[in-house]
Amino acid sequence: MTAALAASLSSQGHSFLSPTGVEIVFVLVGLAVLGAAVLTVSTSQLVHAALWLVVALGGLAIEYLLLTAEFIAWVQVLIYLGSVVVLVLFGLMLTRAPIGRSPDADSGNRWVALGLAVVAAGTLVTLVVDAFRCTWMDLPASGSTSVNGSTQANGEVLFRYWVLPFEALSVLLLAALVGAIVLSRRHREEG
């Protein structure tokens, strides 16, 4: 498995990371992502939560790069880091997020939620173990470009097989735009 991944990685121009290099980067970045995610949901300073979210999402972009999904990785940086979290920060400022701790950041059901979380995490991880432990996934032969997530490959698949969902998404975006404008319009007649 390792050799196959390394071979396919090196065949796609990522030869500067040896297999162990990929593993090390994966583990380090994965730990950083998990830590940042935990801080996002646990810190009581609202803007800091957004900043930790930036760290987590940026780490995920690196994971995408490790998975050779180059286009998705940069789109992740562009959409999530560049727009979504900036909008979230914008919302935090509009709703007057204070500097320092917000005492009522967490609701009262913290312990129930933690118990549920442990159960859910256990279920999901067991599920993954159960589903994929014995399944030997075939990585594509080295040199095949079918999983190379370059812009060209993505574009070909997107506009050859996924055109209809793509068009539907454009309608969705338009609806969201109109919806946001209608929602945020000030009703003058009501004062």
Partner 1 sequence: MSSPALQLATEDLSVFGVDPWWLVVIKAVFCFAFLVVTVLIAIVWERKVVAWMQLRIGPNRHGPWGMLQSLADGVKLALKEDLVVTASDKVVFILAPVISAIPAFLAVAVIPFGPADHEISIFGTRTTMQLTDLPVALLYILAAASVGIYGIVLAGWASGSTYPLLGGVRSAAQMVSYEIAMGLSFAAVFIYSGSMSTSAIVDAQKHTWFVCLLPVSFVIYVISMVGETNRAPFDLPEAEGELVGGFNTEYSSLKFAMFMLAEYINMVTVSAVASILFLGGWRAPWPISTFWEGANHGWWPLLWMIVKIQLLLFFFIWLRGTLPRLRYDQFMKLGWKVLIPVSLVWLVMVATFRALRNKGYSFGTDVLYVGGAVVVLLLLSIVWDMTRKREEPAAASPSEAFDPMAGGFPVPPLPGQQLPPVPRRRSRTTSQSVAALKGADEDAN
Partner 2 sequence: MNPVNYLYLAALLFTIGATGVLVRRNAIVLFMCVELMLNASNLALVTFSRLHGNLDGQIIAFFTMVVAAAEVVVGLAIIVSVFRTRHSASVDDTNLMKL
3-class DSSP state of 16: coil
Residue 4 CB coordination number (10 Å): 15
Stretches 76-84, 114-122, 136-144, 157-165: which one binds partner 1 (CB under 8 A)? 76-84
DSSP single-letter state for residue 98: P
Residue 51 in the binding site for partner 1 (CB under 8 A): yes
The CA distance from 73 to 100, in Å, is: 33
The yes or no reply on residue 151 touching partner 1 (CB under 8 A) is: yes
Number of Cβ within a 10 Å radius of residue 57 = 20
- The reply on whether position 67 binds partner 1 by CB under 8 A is no
Beta carbon of residue 15, minimum distance to partner 2 (angstroms, whole number): 16
Q: Are residues 170 and 90 in contact, defined by beta-carbon separation less than 8 angstroms?
A: no
Near partner 1 by CB under 8 A, which window of 17-25, 28-36, 96-104, 164-172?
96-104
Q: Which does 127 bind (CB under 5 to 8 A by kind): partner 1, partner 2, none?
A: partner 2
CA–CA separation, 188 and 34 (whole Å) = 46
What residues make contact with partner 1 under the rule CB under 8 A?
Answer: 13, 45, 47-48, 51, 54, 70-71, 74-75, 77-78, 81-83, 86-87, 89-90, 93-94, 97, 99-100, 150-152
